Structure 1
């Protein structure tokens, strides 16, 4: 496997997936020890950087985080509760952390259970809500699937707590080195380039392209890869976007692996100043359509304040956009079970604080 860390074990079954031959796609670009997008995001200019700084200082959103004694409803979970459903089930644990029960096996995406998405737990974006359960309460995991190494997707505390509870970690190239530093055994890590896949029992995992970047400090920018994921069981096909800007890769993934029963698409932490690496809601919906998805689950929202929009804005915007396009959404509360065979009705739970939202929502509608 190209560009793989020499110290990270690889599963013999990992291959370039035949389905990727249906589109004119290739693996990631790697040169001079860095990974690159096929469509390079536009670099921010110096005037743009000063404009963005001014917005952060003087144009903060009215409601960047929820208010009230119980700002975000959370359904507390226990391991025994998770073991009960016999059907395929999804639980949104916050931000981009999803727990999937497929064929009776548990899979976890981008686990972040820390109080802050930050290298330091006394400063940085703080959670709006507690997790529905902590890592040590999770049942045994068949696998953990990671999209990239940013702090809101890869958390040291969570990985250390989960290392003994997870059979295998599935990560983009270069991420395995960090996991080993945190105590994960090399043989329990499998690294992927774009369009590579592995069959794990009845579940197929495919690392697919994304348009983003990586880094956890000043000197490791793009030293590891970023990706989206296709997760296919005999009964269901799920797409997990990780973080990404909009690009034509969604159409390629849809051609190779669609249709998808559920697309889990980032819809949050967006801004007009960085659309190349985080999609605006209109682009998130278009990505779902490009992928030939049925139900859409907006993720990357409702947990951390990472941008210059009100915390509830992603929910409101994607709800209106999806209604106009007749796209069925999944909008569960944190920890609420979603039966994937027959997804249930949802309601706009984020509107529970009417005094907080009503005037702002009306103002948004007049923009």
Structure 2
């Protein structure tokens, strides 16, 4: 009995230590901040915020029915062929400071940095979307998946002055603490989803530079540009609790072009609704990676990505959310190959630039299968 009691005390002690360590870790700045004050009051008025969490209109579970986290862990422990590239990715080192679009906004220019990070030059404005220039999309720099060799050829130092930083949601592969710290001196404005500004403010971004939107809301992004937040089927969170901040896609309306900046989203009827209201789109940047049948509602399968482009009435699809990190179980080139196969069936034009290779909307759409190097 004495041994049993001692073992119980040891067990409870370990639980207590783990709880203390968890609390201390969650105090790290990289986790950001929970919305409070006026920000929380505004969140509480949102029609998309119910019972203490933001929600997509259709029930959206994190996991497929019948799937347990134990099953998911076991699946992650099994080897997957070609899950990561075996040699450095090819890239183009474009001089971003000399990247120019037509001053009248005739042809936006875009440069992809891998995964969901890219720069857009349009109407004399420079827009940076979901910038992640750290080696790992993780709250702790030595933990988590590492970027592929050759994918981090750009740093914040390579960027010109930024007029607008766009953050679609607060997951670590879209909102990176170290990157934001380095961007603060060179970025004028930050446009993001409702609640995400709490993280930015904790990290030192002036409140006057933070613009937060609920779905359906928008605002000017300079020189005739408008950003409008639109619905996405996903989730949010940087700690133990999800759904306290919103996740969103954005419609970027320029004087002569309209772009869809997709962020992360599972497939749903919102794509057709957005296409009917704001389309057609000259270019749609849509997630096409980090999917699995075990979480089918929060990320799209590649075939759904192509269908989403059709729903949006996009002239050209650019698949993103692949090509830099391994966050799922599929081979690293599978997303783009499946997208191209389905696009061929549905007659959808797809552009597949290398990291750093310029895309000129309406003119130049790289289509080389560079991942077959």
Deviates more, 1:288-297 or 1:37-46: 37-46
Relative distance call for 1:190 and 1:72 in structure 2 (3 A) is same
Q: Which of 74, 77, 81 is the aligned partner of 2:91?
A: 74
Match of 2:203 in 1: 182
Residues 1:168 and 2:189 aligned together: yes
Contact 2:102-2:122 at 8 Å conserved across structures: no
Matches within 5 A, 1:274-289: 274-289=295-310
| Residue 265 of structure 2 corresponds to residue 252 of structure 1 | no
Q: For residues 1-367 of structure 1, what are the structure 2 equivalents within 5 Å? A: 6=37, 28-44=47-63, 47-58=67-78, 60-68=79-87, 71-83=88-100, 87-128=107-148, 129-200=150-221, 201-218=223-240, 220-352=241-373
Across the aligned residues of Structure 1 and Structure 2, the Cα RMSD in angstroms comes to 1.9
Shift of 1:48: 3.2
Report how far residue 83 of structure 1 moved: 4.6
Deviation digits for residues 242-287 of structure 1 (CA, Å, limit 9, x no counterpart): 1110010001101110000000000000111111000001111111
| Greater gyration radius | 2
Report the CA distance shift for 1:166/1:54 in structure 2 as closer, same or farther (over 3 A).
same
Shift of 1:152: 0.2
TM-score, normalized by length of structure 2? 0.84
Asked if structure 2 preserves the Cα contact closer than 8 Å seen for 1:111 and 1:153, the reply is yes
Deviates more, 1:154-163 or 1:41-50: 41-50
* Cα displacement (A) at 1:295: 0.2
Query: C-alpha displacement at 1:139, in angstroms?
Result: 1.1
* Distance of aligned partners of 1:84 and 1:198 in 2 relative to their CA distance in 1, 3 Å threshold: closer
- What displacement does 1:47 show? 4.8
Q: Is the 8 A contact 1:244 1:266 kept in 2?
A: yes
As a proportion of its length, which structure holds more helix? 2
CA distance in 2, matches of 1:329, 1:43: 29
- In 1, the alpha carbon distance for the partners of 2:308 and 2:151 equals 30
Q: Equivalents in 1 of 2:297, 2:137: separation in Å?
A: 21
Task: Give the secondary-structure state (helix, strand or coil) at the position aligned to 1:315.
Answer: helix
1:316 to partner: Cα distance: 0.8
Deviation at 1:57, TM superposition (A): 1.5
The 1:43/1:344 distance shift into structure 2, 3 A limit, reads: closer
Q: Partners of 2:245 and 2:235 in 1: how far apart?
A: 8
- Distance (whole Å) between structure 2 residues aligned to residue 154 and residue 221 of structure 1: 15
Distance 1:75 1:107, change over 3 A: same
